[in-house]
Structure 1
């Protein structure tokens, strides 16, 4: 149930019987040959599909996140940590003020993790609320499925190459890129990161079959849906 497809009167009626909300979190950043909005596209699509049979409200994706390492890649936008924390807090304040009490953040970008700390700090002053933070791509069952298909998987590699994140008329290299040194990546500034990464893939093949990607998607949807549905007490 997408908030974008509802008016405020319908949301008010929804809140009479349900206080759950799903908030997808993404980023706008380089993903090699894939869309710059990969993280946002996937977080919102997973949230919407997982919540649909449950009739739970899904908000539009927060399309900007924390990604300072890609500051020199054109088209990437990074928020400061304090800015991002304030946004998460403002979102929760707004949801609380209108009657939402259970919130699942479906996060599609690892750099957004400081937002979880902001949410926990907010929770300390709202003891009746329940918050879950779900990194959908590395949740236990989803990540296990990824590794079962191909353990060499990373940022901008095949594991993010779904039909909905591909761009028209953009070909993919038919190779397996060696993994970059992630420890080194954490020690260099954005201009050096751009030179070091080359096309932006951290390592691994660029594309696998649609059947394999659908298998991962099915696990991710089921794992996310279970969090929306159960165990809020």
Structure 2
């Protein structure tokens, strides 16, 4: 049930009986040898599969987010916090005006997480609404599955290397990259970040088996569906 495959009559009919909607949040930024749109692709694909299973409408995903630390890498698009907060606020306003009251945000980019404060501000003005911000890759069951395969897994490493985030003709390095001290990045400007992290992988192998990735994806799908069914508070 994607918005792109619906008209307004169908949304109006849905809202006569239901009030949930899904919005994927992503980013366009360096992911080493993977697609620049990795976060957008993963959040949008997960949202689509969850929406199909639970018959919940899915908004078009936001392909841009807050990624100031990657701006020295060509292709990265960074939104200022004020811009991003205003964008999320306007989207929430629009969904609320349509009649949606339970809004589920599937976030694929850690840099977007500070928007939680703006969501709280919005909820203060819409007390009958509920919003969940779900960082799908970091959720307990999904991250637990990742750690079963390797504790060395982070940004742009194997844990984001799915068949739909790879690029045709791009060969992954065969070695495992030593984990970086991610805490250093908060102190560095963008060029220094690039100098430190090199190709963009924060640490870990560049690719693992598709069977392992399918297990992680299935766990993420089940965990996300459970939150959409049971994660709302009264």
Q: Tell me the residue number matched to 2:189.
A: 189
Find the aligned partners of 1:117 and 1:164 in 2 and give their Cα distance: 32
Q: 5 Å matches for 1:1-233?
A: 1-232=1-232, 233=234
**CA shift for structure 1 position 55:** 0.6
* Aligned residue pair count: 233
Unpaired segments ≥5 residues, structure 2 = none
Unpaired segments ≥5 residues, structure 1 = none
- 2:168 counterpart SS class: coil
Find the aligned partners of 1:161 and 1:173 in 2 and give their Cα distance: 12
TM-score, length-scaled by structure 2: 0.98
- Which deviates more, 113-122 or 133-142? 113-122
TM-score, length-scaled by structure 1: 0.98
- Is contact 1:29–1:36 with CA below 8 Å preserved after alignment? yes
Find the aligned partners of 1:124 and 1:149 in 2 and give their Cα distance: 41
User: For each residue in 1:103-159, what CA deviation from the matched residue of structure 2 results, as whole angstroms up to 9, or x when unmatched?
Assistant: 000000000012111111100111100111100000000000000111100000000
Q: Cα RMSD (Å) of the superposition?
A: 0.8
**CA shift for structure 1 position 230:** 2.0
**CA shift for structure 1 position 231:** 3.9
Find the aligned partners of 1:114 and 1:156 in 2 and give their Cα distance: 21
- Structure 1's consecutive aligned runs of 4 or more residues displaced over 6 angstroms after TM superposition are none
Find the aligned partners of 1:88 and 1:63 in 2 and give their Cα distance: 13
- 1:113 counterpart SS class: helix
**CA shift for structure 1 position 181:** 1.5
- Is contact 1:66–1:81 with CA below 8 Å preserved after alignment? yes
- Is contact 1:85–1:114 with CA below 8 Å preserved after alignment? no
User: For each residue in 1:18-70, what CA deviation from the matched residue of structure 2 results, as whole angstroms up to 9, or x when unmatched?
Assistant: 11000000000000000000000000111111121211011111110000000
**CA shift for structure 1 position 202:** 0.5
